[in-house]
Amino acid sequence: MAVTTTTRVAELHELLARHETSPAAGNVPVHPELVELFPRGLRTGAVYSLHGSMSAALALLAGPSAAGSWCAVVGVPDLGIEAAADWGVWLDRIALIPRVPAGEWTSVVAALVEVSALVVAAPPEHISPGEVSRLLARLRTSGSTLVVLGNWPRAVATLTGQVTRWDGLYDGHGHLRGGSLRLEVTERQRTRYADLELPVRP
């Protein structure tokens, strides 16, 4: 399994590099509904810690992929592809690595940030301070952005996504017509938030 993962990442790295997919200069663009929270986009060379609803991660992926940049998702085997498309994620610009051995996580993510504008990754249970430092150094030189699903020791901000409303479902009956996602951003001990309408298929 480790060999398969390493080989697949190497092939992806080569493929994306051939198509001139290195992260562009400037901040990472965001979904229109997130502009209020990130008026200048996501910071490059930085790590964001995300907790809660996976819908928030899909919303973050929508901005750069729709703008034509490559993105990657690491360690999320149950990623909802249809939900991603509903958010406006350009699926042809997403590299998926569903499972990564814990010992290879840092090297896999480091390889992907070189050719992706945004990488969303579920981290292993333990990661050493040295690995954190090496990955941050790679992010700074590549100009990419990393969103970690969970805690991260040197994140520039903590994001929390929570579904606050579902429309159309009552006592377990009815058809889902919509909903609302509250995304909170805590940065430098200040918290700001925005309520996003969840995309729902008709």
Tens-of-pLDDT digits for all 202 residues of the chain? 444 565 556 666 565 555 555 455 579 999 999 999 999 999 999 999 999 989 999 999 999 999 999 999 999 999 999 999 999 999 999 999 999 998 899 999 999 999 999 999 999 988 999 999 999 999 999 999 999 999 999 999 999 999 887 666 554 544 455 678 999 999 988 999 999 988 865 5
Closest CA to 156 of 50, 61, 30, 29: 50
CATH assignment of 2-157, among 3.40.1000.10, 3.20.20.70, 3.40.50.1950, 3.40.50.300: 3.40.50.300
**Helix axis angle, 2-18 relative to 105-113, nearest 10°?**
10
Give 104's Cβ-side CA count (13 Å radius): 19
Domain segments of the chain: what residues? 2-157
- The distance of Cα 149 from the centroid of its chain, to the nearest Å, equals 8
